Amino acid sequence: MEITIWDEYYELLPRKELEKIQLNRLKRTLIRAYHNLPYYRHKLEAEGIDIHRFKTMQDLKHLPFTCKEDLRRAYPFGAIAEPLRNIVRIHSSSGSTGSATVVGYTAGDIEIWAELMARTLTGSGASEEDIVQVAFGYGLFTGGLGAHYGAERIGATVVPMSTGNTARQVQILQDFNISVLCCTPSYALYLAEVAQEQKVDWSKTRFRIGIFGAEPWSEEMRADLEQKLPIQAFDIYGLSEIIGPGVGFECQARAGLHVSEDHFIPEIINPDTGEVLPPGETGELVITTITKEGTPVIRYRTGDVSSLIPEPCACGRTLTRIKRIKARTDDMLIIRGVNVYPSQIESALLSFKELEPHYQIVITKENFMDRVDIKVEVAPEFFSDEVKTLEKLKQSIEEKLRAELNIHCHLRLMEPKSIERTSGKSNRVVDLRKKEGLT
């Protein structure tokens, strides 16, 4: 395993020194938040917390959380802690689950973001020798510009494609000798499919690294992508409210995502009680920014389910790791009383070599009972006109789903390429019970 590190000082800092830096930065952030963010000051005052008495990292757990709703209520600029003349960029998350949150960046924030994305890209082995195709969306979404600035920072050559026009993306990938691709994992799948149709000969390309994130994806999906494309695939994590991509990244060990703790403090909490959980336990990821100037957030509840990995990483970085995010606290489906995460369904489906990772899950009510319908595509080489063959396959998948999830799912095997492709984040779960007000 070849190990490449962008910032050898901070990424390898002994924990004691790191903790000193964190405490100083955190205290400064708290004072700024108290003076410049009325919504957070009100929270502190309501709970009778005097931030001037904040002494050790242990005190963090007594501070109130920031929720998405707080940022939404502050729309448009109420979560910005600087005069607007100091803000050089605005990003916004439309949010798959509600109205927008707005995040402001100072020039200093943009500088730090570029450094964090430089760590991310270097962690995967990318360098100034690489040509990077950025196929995350450019715009209010943070993916495109985040990856762009990081790739420029490491001295790579950037090709700012944004999303869409997939045939052209595949052409550019070959013509421009692209070696690194940044996009959502579902878009990478789509690209792989179009490349296959065009009979791309990968041995004639320099393509070697995929940097994927912005949505949950499984180990099975990673294996599938690495089989279809000539790459090693890396998971990157982030969210606009914190900075965008660059919050967590996989190194070459690919055993969890490093969090740049000199900028962000991660905690894992029990989402029901708010209690902080010890390393290793699974719960909701909470992040405090300690260097952000534009939109600092304290104990932000990400809604993402993860755990802290306490063991040191084989790469030598001292930065802690989080487990890859498989789910959000709010995407757990309760089906006839059974808790099911969409990622469990994906893992079960992708354990069948006959299936493609293109699927859709639809939940409805039938005679007051929950009903799950799953449409999934069959790989072209296994799609047959023989009803008997497909029926047998369908039965064994349904059995597997029942064994793993404890519920019956109605499966429909679909023709290859019949489910709509996306170029950004995919939307694989449609819960019609909510729409109908039936839950």
Binding site for ligand DLL (CB under 6 A): 93, 136, 141-143, 213-216, 235-240, 244-245, 302, 304, 325, 328
Q: How far is the CB of 325 from ligand DLL (least distance, A)?
A: 4
Q: How far is the CB of 182 from ligand DLL (least distance, A)?
A: 8
What residues contact 366, with CB distance under 8 A and at least 6 apart? none
Q: How far is the CB of 184 from ligand DLL (least distance, A)?
A: 7
- The total of other beta-carbon atoms located within 10 Å of residue 162's CB is 19
Q: How far is the CB of 236 from ligand DLL (least distance, A)?
A: 5
The number of CA neighbours under 13 Å toward the Cβ of 158 is 21
Tell me how far apart the alpha carbons of residues 386 and 408 are, in angstroms, rounded to a whole number.
25
Nearest CB to ligand DLL, comparing residues 106 and 142: 142
Q: By beta-carbon distance, which residue lies closest to ligand DLL?
A: 213
Tell me how far apart the alpha carbons of residues 354 and 382 are, in angstroms, rounded to a whole number.
6
Nearest CB to ligand DLL, comparing residues 211 and 355: 211
Nearest CB to ligand DLL, comparing residues 125 and 146: 146
Sign of the dihedral defined by the CA atoms of residues 146, 148, 151, 155, in that order = negative
What is the three-state SS of 390-420? Answer: HHHHHHHHHHHHHHHHCCCEEEEEECCCCCC
Residue 148 has φ and ψ, to the nearest 5°, of: -60, -50
Q: How far is the CB of 256 from ligand DLL (least distance, A)?
A: 12
Nearest CB to ligand DLL, comparing residues 123 and 245: 245
Residue 370 has φ and ψ, to the nearest 5°, of: -70, 140
Q: How far is the CB of 136 from ligand DLL (least distance, A)?
A: 5
DSSP 215-267: S---HHHHHHHHHHSSSEEEEEEEETTTTEEEEEE--TT-SSEEE-TTTEEEE
Q: How far is the CB of 225 from ligand DLL (least distance, A)?
A: 13
Burial of 24 (0-12, 13-18, 19+ CB in 10 A): exposed
Nearest CB to ligand DLL, comparing residues 237 and 264: 237
Helix (H) or strand (E) holding 2: none
Nearest CB to ligand DLL, comparing residues 6 and 136: 136
- The total of other beta-carbon atoms located within 10 Å of residue 374's CB is 22
Helix (H) or strand (E) holding 23: helix 15-36
Q: How many residues does the chain have?
A: 439
Which two three-digit tokens encode residue 380? 């072209």
Q: How far is the CB of 267 from ligand DLL (least distance, A)?
A: 15
Q: How far is the CB of 303 from ligand DLL (least distance, A)?
A: 6
Nearest CB to ligand DLL, comparing residues 298 and 393: 298
Dihedral in degrees, nearest 10, Cα atoms 26, 29, 31, 32: 180
Q: How far is the CB of 218 from ligand DLL (least distance, A)?
A: 10
Q: Which long-range contacts (CB under 8 A, 24 or more apart) does 396-399 make?
A: 396/352, 397/348, 397/349, 397/352, 397/355
Nearest CB to ligand DLL, comparing residues 177 and 282: 282
